[in-house]
Structure 1
């Protein structure tokens, strides 16, 4: 039997301490600041803390998305460790009692259901995963005893293998009590920060419409030091520099696959009709405006991004970029992103695709850094089923640079003088049913690729 190299005593090893420090540092940088009108970072010694994730903070998803740890710092403990007094422990106690009772009832039902069906409790859990109940209602008394002008509301959603998510209250959408609580807090507190302790996307269109929500921070699920990492960001010790890795739609049905996804049509057969238009490629190509685009994320400071002259070295495309922190108070990091709009040829192509990205060093106010983003030309090739090969088609490839998929500016053009086969392959697993794949208006898409007028800084490949 293979030997497993892991801690064999209760003693905390130096390795664990070092790894925890690295994890906490990276966690702070990974958070995505979706909205902020100046409420963040906070400067307070007292806070009104609410929400189902305040004490029951989710460190990882279900199944293999979670691991055993020696300890878990929730958000309430994170505030305490940062020296900020949580003034709403009475509400948090009621919330904990509510969820504990619901969980106990679920466990009892799961045992009885397993016995009735003569199956394992694990099988029942996978078919009927536990769902957190709606939050406790916040009362005027909870607000009166808080003695602060700053409220933080934590929305938690758990998910993972074994179950699909639903477009319903308490999952993709807000629970009724969550909705009412946020409206109330937005009215009575000068500063309301909403923290998203979630592993996927959810509907934020209603929350964005609530006057008085001053900041929205995507914390995600950051492991056992999540509470400490969150406070690093909330207090300005760390400036968040994360970017969205999904496109957040205005409406659930804006996702092209949503209408037929899982329980919306069939849990037995899933027809992938998106084709090449997955994620931002769909929203960009079909002209559907999202709530938050791919690669989006704010900072406590502002940056200026200027692309230099593009060069081609062999098959490597190089884009020099100058990034300057033009803010006056906070140091920060920016993520520069390079996209390309491929030439219209025989094969269909989306409006743009991500080719390279790079995060800067920590830039002080007024500081500048010059970086060079690089990628191989074959990354721009498309797969031809007819030829069973990746082919870089003849034509102009427009290079765009920005800090999100929606903020790019044309930096130059790479001209491919003839079709180039970059990799010969072999077609496997032919479809046994026809797919009705989606397609945008080809003429309008090509016109969009060339707006605004292309800078004629051209490199031949």
Structure 2
């Protein structure tokens, strides 16, 4: 093929569709023939902190990437981790993915994906590094706020529309961190030991759904090891499962610095290596990008014949395929920068994701026209939560604080504010204490509480190191910075206390019984304060459901019910001793009552499940079970409820959890309305992973369909038989 013909292929563009995919593959083969070995290798590793090179000679473009799952990160300098100081790189900060999961609303996940994808496209990004779908195994994990909770089915259902939404913009979603990156402590080297059942039943389903149902174009490897091998170039996880069994046709990208060996990276499925312990070109030749594992060392092995050229050809083919889907697609849309439509999406996700945990005697909502004195206490009432947290930190156009949102909605009230406690500034990898006097802040807050008719305590965690932050796990389940003690003293002087928790993790609540109401508010992004005020005022009826269990104490969580080898490990190895019993599976099966259960969330109205039925009593493999559930809103306010369908195997040849989520649907009803809701559950989803045969096994026998509104609030049970 002549040089001019290669250029014509690249610049004319080809519309990627089922009809012409074969033609594109032929064009890719022709381009590969024109590339030198050096050019091929060059495409497989970084050229800057967030880009990999193209081929200038043929007009093949660079690939540009950006964090993160909640917004498009500000521009980073070419060759350092410093911010570039641009003035046009502000974004919409969308709610963290724990909040998105709490909506139990796949349609909203699609809107979220479209909006964030538009911003990535406008900023000329080709890969958006998200969503994160690692499983919430321990409430201490510093990055849980970036993920979608403890249940593999929920994470699967919610990540697929997010991916599709992003990719409508000609931007590749990059699902991360594949796989078993479920803690930040020792993340770079900890070797995870886990049963095949737990791997396939709990920790891989969301990735499988992302590939097979979401059609995701890229996957990010993880830092940790699995069975002695680093996961970013893993023979079983990547060659055997991802690219083998699941037939993933996209690109595997390292997490930044997660490559460790040239031969393994070459032969075990890694396609693009990023961030490998260098500072690019600024220090020395040996520390340059062309000394990455997939750079000159890779080239030398190819030239010597120790590695066949077909290996690099496969990597380049995948990279070019990604380009035809993104920066070489002529029909790619142009995207849109942060705008009111995107802020509206962020606010809607925040509204639907907020979870009402407690509401004693319908204390909430507060009358928005009240003239009472409202004390807003807590550092989180004013602290920016889009900064900090590691790679997901954002430079947003605006961030509405909870205090500002409350002031804007309760305009007739006398609103007074006190900081209450101070956490110190946010700095990656370090804890920096506040230089403010904590005792003075506490005493001022108590005096403020005495003057108020109602106290809104806005506390929780933040994005500081060893809170909800990358590269460090929490040290305790309790609230930090003296908040538990402060709350005890506030409720002693004021009985009307509402606690608004801003966090991405479960916390202990020794003060729970004394609070009138508790609201789980997550990290809500640009529109945070408005969304919180929407719920507190009753303008929005809360409908969020917890995507993970809140244990009463840390030892009630499965990962912490054993010795240190289970969490955090011994510094070398870690064994997932709770096996498949993660989250509510552990609480239910071991009969350990949670503080708040998975799937739980209150409303300002009341719902009643009147009846439930199925379309037959006997089913076989491949069938879909159709359920009809009659739901009534018997309260005085319109609202939304999430119907949840769990499955229990009455008799199994192996240990099974007490129940597992296999279906859900969010339903909006007017006050007094009754509606029959149709749901479906796949019989094949009843299967377990059979370690004897290394495959899924569906056993005949009797099963129960458990229909309710939380994992611990089952209202109807239907028995079915699988033949």
TM-score bracket relative to the smaller structure = 0.7 to 0.9
- Paired with 1:386 and 1:299, the residues of 2 have a C-alpha distance of 46
Structure 1 residues 201-240: aligned runs within 5 Å: 201-204=506-509, 206-209=510-513, 211=514, 213-240=515-542
Aligned equivalent of 1:165: 474
Aligned equivalent of 2:227: none
Residue 411 of structure 1 deviates from its aligned partner by 2.8
Deviations 1:62-116 (A, max 9, x none): 1233322111111111112214456434x33x86xx55xx43xx86xxxxxxxxx
- Paired with 1:273 and 1:327, the residues of 2 have a C-alpha distance of 44
Judged with a 3 Å threshold, the aligned counterparts in structure 2 of structure 1 residues 131 and 228 are, in CA distance, closer, same or farther, namely: farther
- Paired with 1:164 and 1:371, the residues of 2 have a C-alpha distance of 41
- SS of 2:343's partner is helix
Equivalent residue in structure 1 for 2:630, among 322, 346, 357: 322
Structure 1 residues 148-187: aligned runs within 5 Å: 148-158=452-462, 159-167=468-476, 172-175=477-480, 177-187=482-492
- State whether residues 356 and 375 of structure 1, in contact with CA within 8 Å, keep that contact through their aligned partners in structure 2: yes
- Paired with 1:333 and 1:53, the residues of 2 have a C-alpha distance of 28
- The farther-off stretch of 80-89 and 147-156 is 80-89
- State whether residues 552 and 595 of structure 2, in contact with CA within 8 Å, keep that contact through their aligned partners in structure 1: yes
Structure 1 residues 218-297: aligned runs within 5 Å: 218-258=520-560, 259-260=563-564, 266-297=570-601
Per the normalisation by structure 1, the TM-score is 0.75
Residue 403 of structure 1 deviates from its aligned partner by 0.2
Aligned equivalent of 1:29: 352
Aligned equivalent of 1:381: 687
- SS of 1:319's partner is strand
- Paired with 2:712 and 2:439, the residues of 1 have a C-alpha distance of 35
Judged with a 3 Å threshold, the aligned counterparts in structure 2 of structure 1 residues 263 and 281 are, in CA distance, closer, same or farther, namely: closer
Aligned equivalent of 1:456: none
- Paired with 2:496 and 2:460, the residues of 1 have a C-alpha distance of 20
Aligned equivalent of 2:341: 18
Residue 378 of structure 1 deviates from its aligned partner by 0.6
Aligned equivalent of 1:71: 398
- State whether residues 51 and 155 of structure 1, in contact with CA within 8 Å, keep that contact through their aligned partners in structure 2: yes
Count how many residue pairs are aligned between Structure 1 and Structure 2: 378
- State whether residues 323 and 368 of structure 1, in contact with CA within 8 Å, keep that contact through their aligned partners in structure 2: yes
Aligned equivalent of 1:6: 122
Aligned equivalent of 1:369: 675
Residue 153 of structure 1 deviates from its aligned partner by 0.5
- Paired with 2:481 and 2:389, the residues of 1 have a C-alpha distance of 25
- Paired with 2:547 and 2:486, the residues of 1 have a C-alpha distance of 29
Judged with a 3 Å threshold, the aligned counterparts in structure 2 of structure 1 residues 263 and 319 are, in CA distance, closer, same or farther, namely: closer
- SS of 2:498's partner is strand
Equivalent residue in structure 2 for 1:392, among 695, 698, 701: 698
- Paired with 1:39 and 1:157, the residues of 2 have a C-alpha distance of 24
Equivalent residue in structure 1 for 2:379, among 44, 52, 56: 52
- State whether residues 449 and 493 of structure 2, in contact with CA within 8 Å, keep that contact through their aligned partners in structure 1: no
Aligned equivalent of 1:112: none
Aligned equivalent of 1:200: 505
- Paired with 2:688 and 2:605, the residues of 1 have a C-alpha distance of 38
Judged with a 3 Å threshold, the aligned counterparts in structure 2 of structure 1 residues 342 and 143 are, in CA distance, closer, same or farther, namely: same
- Paired with 2:547 and 2:631, the residues of 1 have a C-alpha distance of 22
Query: Which consecutive residues of structure 1, in runs of 5 or more, have no partner in the other structure?
Result: 108-124, 418-461
Residue 226 of structure 1 deviates from its aligned partner by 0.5
Residue 263 of structure 1 deviates from its aligned partner by 7.1
Judged with a 3 Å threshold, the aligned counterparts in structure 2 of structure 1 residues 397 and 403 are, in CA distance, closer, same or farther, namely: same
Q: Does 1:341 align with 2:648?
A: yes
Residue 342 of structure 1 deviates from its aligned partner by 1.4
- The farther-off stretch of 177-186 and 293-302 is 177-186
- Paired with 1:59 and 1:369, the residues of 2 have a C-alpha distance of 40
Judged with a 3 Å threshold, the aligned counterparts in structure 2 of structure 1 residues 60 and 337 are, in CA distance, closer, same or farther, namely: farther
- Paired with 1:253 and 1:281, the residues of 2 have a C-alpha distance of 15
- Paired with 1:279 and 1:145, the residues of 2 have a C-alpha distance of 36
Judged with a 3 Å threshold, the aligned counterparts in structure 2 of structure 1 residues 218 and 59 are, in CA distance, closer, same or farther, namely: farther
Judged with a 3 Å threshold, the aligned counterparts in structure 2 of structure 1 residues 55 and 390 are, in CA distance, closer, same or farther, namely: same
- SS of 2:552's partner is coil
